[in-house]
């Protein structure tokens, strides 16, 4: 009975190989040989093996597990090497940038105009002030320049502005610049 089933499997496999364009995987061919050898061993030991559908399900699972365990050719198992580089502290500028000072003056004037017009009427001036203060965060400030102390005092006054948008952006800029000045000092 087993010989007839094996012959039928071989003829079905031969029929599929001849009439299909898909080439068989070498893993599947090896698996067929392994199952034939295991059947011979169980027959030799006198053990009976179930040939029902449940044993066929586990047969497919074994093939899938083998295929998943194989390493892909396109993937390489090279370890990633991470280097920790020490950042060289940038030299602090000796003078404040003229463009930075002009932007700060624009922000200060627009905040004064917004204060004079009132909170509800001065939306444009508030937007101008907030945008220029947010641009100033990208500029470095010098701790040794003469005008730094005056700029920081004016910025501290802007943190007490009655418009909360101007107040919040000025306080964030004040914190950032205070931290950068503290970092520049030895």
Distance CA 130, CA 125 (A): 9
- Examine the pLDDT at 183 and tell me if it is beyond 60: yes
Residue 181 has pLDDT above 60, yes or no: yes
Q: Give the pLDDT band (50/70/90) at residue 11.
A: low
- Per-residue pLDDT tens over the stretch 21-68: 554 455 445 545 566 666 666 655 555 555 555 555 555 556 666 665
Mean pLDDT estimate for the chain: 73
CB distance 77 to 71 below 8 Å:
yes
- Interval 79-93: pLDDT, tens: 666 666 655 556 666
Helix/strand/coil (H/E/C) assignment for every residue in the chain: CHHHHHHHHHHHHHHHHHHCCCCCCHHHHHHHHHHHHHHHHHHHHCCCCCCCHHHHHHHHHHHHHHHHHCCCCCCCCCCCCCCCCCCCCCCCCCCCCHHHHHHHHHHHHHHHHHHHHCCCCCHHHHHHHHHHHHHHCCCCCCCCCCCHHHHHHHHHHHCCCCCHHHHHHHHHHHHHHHHHHHHHCC
pTM greater than 0.95 (yes/no): no
Could you tell me the pLDDT band of residue 152, with boundaries at 50, 70 and 90? Answer: very high
> Where in the chain are the domains?
2-69, 98-184
Enter the tokens of residue 17. Answer: 């190989």
Angle, helices 123-136/98-117, rounded to nearest 10 degrees: 150
The rounded percent of the chain whose pLDDT value lies above 70 is 49
Tell me what pLDDT residue 126 has: 92
- pLDDT of 86: 55
Q: For residue 63, what are the CA distances in angstroms to 14, 116, 131, 132, 182?
A: 20, 80, 63, 65, 65
Structure-model confidence comparison of residues 20 and 172, the more confident one: 172
C-alpha span between 149 and 184 (Å, rounded)? 15
Q: Quick one: tokens of 53?
A: 């559908």
């Amino acid at each position: 009975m087993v010989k007839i089933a094996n012959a039928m499997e071989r003829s079905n496999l031969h029929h599929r190989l001849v009439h299909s364009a898909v080439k068989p995987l070498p893993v599947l061919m090896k698996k067929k040989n392994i199952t034939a050898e295991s059947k011979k061993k169980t027959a030799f030991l006198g053990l009976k093996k179930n040939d029902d559908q449940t044993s066929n399900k586990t047969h497919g699972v074994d093939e899938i597990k083998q295929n998943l365990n194989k390493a892909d050719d396109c993937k390489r198992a090279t370890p990633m090497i991470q280097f920790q580089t020490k950042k060289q502290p940038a030299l602090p500028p000796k003078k404040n940038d003229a463009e930075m000072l002009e932007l700060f003056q624009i922000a200060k004037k627009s905040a004064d105009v917004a204060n004079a017009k009132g909170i509800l009427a001065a939306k444009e001036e508030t937007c101008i002030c907030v945008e220029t203060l947010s641009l100033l965060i990208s500029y470095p400030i010098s701790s040794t320049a003469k005008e730094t102390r005056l700029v920081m005092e004016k910025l501290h006054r802007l943190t007490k502005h009655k418009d909360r948008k101007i107040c919040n952006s000025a306080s964030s800029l004040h914190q950032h610049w205070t931290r950068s000045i503290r970092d520049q000092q030895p």
